[in-house]
Every structure is written in structure tokens, then in C-alpha cells.
Amino acid sequence: MQPFTTHAGTVAPMDRANVDTDQIIPKQFLKRIERTGFGQFLFFDWRFLPDGTPDPAFELNRPLRHGASILLARRNFGCGSSREHAPWALSDHGFRVVIAPTFADIFYANCFQNGMLPVKLDEADVDELFRRAAAAEAAGSPYRLTVDLGACEIRDDAGFVRAFAVDPFRRTCLLEGLDNIGLSLKHVDSIAAWEAAHGLPPVGGPGA
């Protein structure tokens, strides 16, 4: 998993609350067994018209938001079913950060397991970010933010600075690029010693 330290990128504002995982990645695309390739189906029912062409009214289809790597949303983002495909799709599309006042618990945890940082900010701060993004786009430029996980801080180039809280264990894992498998592999020698002490065959050995 790619470590996350500091990320600077443009923002795609999505002024919607209760965005559920079936909208993030619709159920008809869950048959794939790889973790990659889901980005093309992200927000499929919203991004595309019935004839398959991009819907110009959808937020992510606006020209200034192409290539955005920070998604700005409203409360309860990632609600609905617990499909891990939702962060897979967001990540594969190019998002590294999602900012919202609140997240669904399982989606929030899945983000950390897939190298993406979900940032919780107060409603008032999220409102301010939407305002700043709208002002930047009205002036013809995408809105940019820097998200610093080391300092647990988010900032722009015009004086906006906010601290955010992250569970220390999740923060460390993301800084080091460790998912559950990577975390286990850091202790492989200790695991092997425990197995040997309890008469278990080594992983991959006879009887494994």
C-alpha cells in the first residue's frame, strides 16, 4: 500500500449528504475480482446519461474538477452497504483524500486499509471549504488544498488552516503504508517463533 504523508491536489466539491456506497460504485460492477479498474465506474449512475455520454451537470464532469484528487462532501459519506469496492473505486479514479463532516463507520475504516485518508471537519469548516472552492472556480481556477498527515493539518494558499484528528494507530499505518497484511508481515519472525513453539508447521511447509 502506498504510504500517505503529505498530499497536495485540486478539490472536487460534491455538495450532497448521505452519499451511499451503491452510488459510489453501483452493484452491477461488483463482479470484478481485482481491486483495480473500478475507477471507470465511480458514480456511474450520476456521471453518465442513459446513452453512455458524460452528464455535464454532474459535479465531477465539470472541466475544472478533472484530475481532482481531493473529494469534498457532506455528512454521512459512504453510508449504505459495507462494500470495500467503494474506496477501491475512489482510489482508482485518483482520489487520495475525502473530506466530510462525518462518514459511515465501515467506509471510514476501509479508506485507511486502502491508502486513502478520510478527514473529518466540523460542518462550519466544510461550509467554508465549499465557499472557497466556489470562489476559486468562479475566478476560473480549481481550488487546491494540502493535507499533511504528519501534522494532522489541512490548509490552502489563502490562510485556511485546520487541524484534524486521526486515531494514532490508523495514522501510523497510513504513514507507513501498512494495511492489515503489511502490518502482519512486520511480525513474521515472531509469528514463526510462536508457531514453532506450539508445534505448528511453518507457513508453506508440509502440512500447511
Residue 85's nearest CA partner among 49, 33, 47, 158 is 33
Say what the pTM is.
0.87
Map 1-60 to HEC letters.
CCCCCEEEEEEEECCCCCCEHHHHCCHHHCCCCCCCCCHHHCCHHHHECCCCCECCCCHH
**pLDDT score at 34:** 80
Strands of the sheet containing 6-13, edge to edge, are 117-120, 97-100, 70-72, 6-13, 144-148, 153-155, 161-163
Distance CA 24, CA 89 (A): 7
Residue 41's nearest CA partner among 157, 118, 52, 9 is 52
According to DSSP, the β-strands at 144-148 and 153-155 are antiparallel
Q: What is the dihedral of CA 163, 169, 172, 173, to 10 degrees?
A: -120
**pLDDT score at 33:** 76
Q: Which three cell numbers stand for residue 110?
A: 476501509
Provide the b/e sequence for 73-107 (b: ≥16 CB within 10 Å). bbbbbbbbeebbbbbbbbbbbbbbbbbbbbbbebb
- Yes or no: say if 191 and 197 are a contact pair by the CB < 8 Å rule: no
Residue given cell 462525518 in the structure block: 102
Instruction: Per residue of the chain (208 residues), give pLDDT as tens.
Output: 889 999 999 999 999 999 999 999 999 999 877 888 999 999 999 999 999 999 999 999 999 999 999 999 999 999 999 899 999 999 999 999 999 999 999 999 999 999 999 999 999 999 999 999 999 999 999 999 999 999 999 999 999 999 999 999 999 999 998 866 556 555 566 666 767 677 777 665 554 4
**pLDDT score at 73:** 98
Q: Which SS3 state, helix, strand or coil, does residue 162 take? A: strand
Q: Which three cell numbers stand for residue 206?
A: 508440509
Q: Which three cell numbers stand for residue 140?
A: 476560473
Q: What crossing angle do the helices spanning 105-113 and 85-93 adopt, rounded to 10°?
A: 50
Q: Domains in the chain and their CATH numbers?
A: 6-197 (3.20.19.10)
Give the list of residues 6+ apart from residue 16 with CB closer than 8 angstroms, or none.
Answer: 73, 74
What's the CA angle centered on 71, arms 82 and 6, to 5 degrees?
A: 105
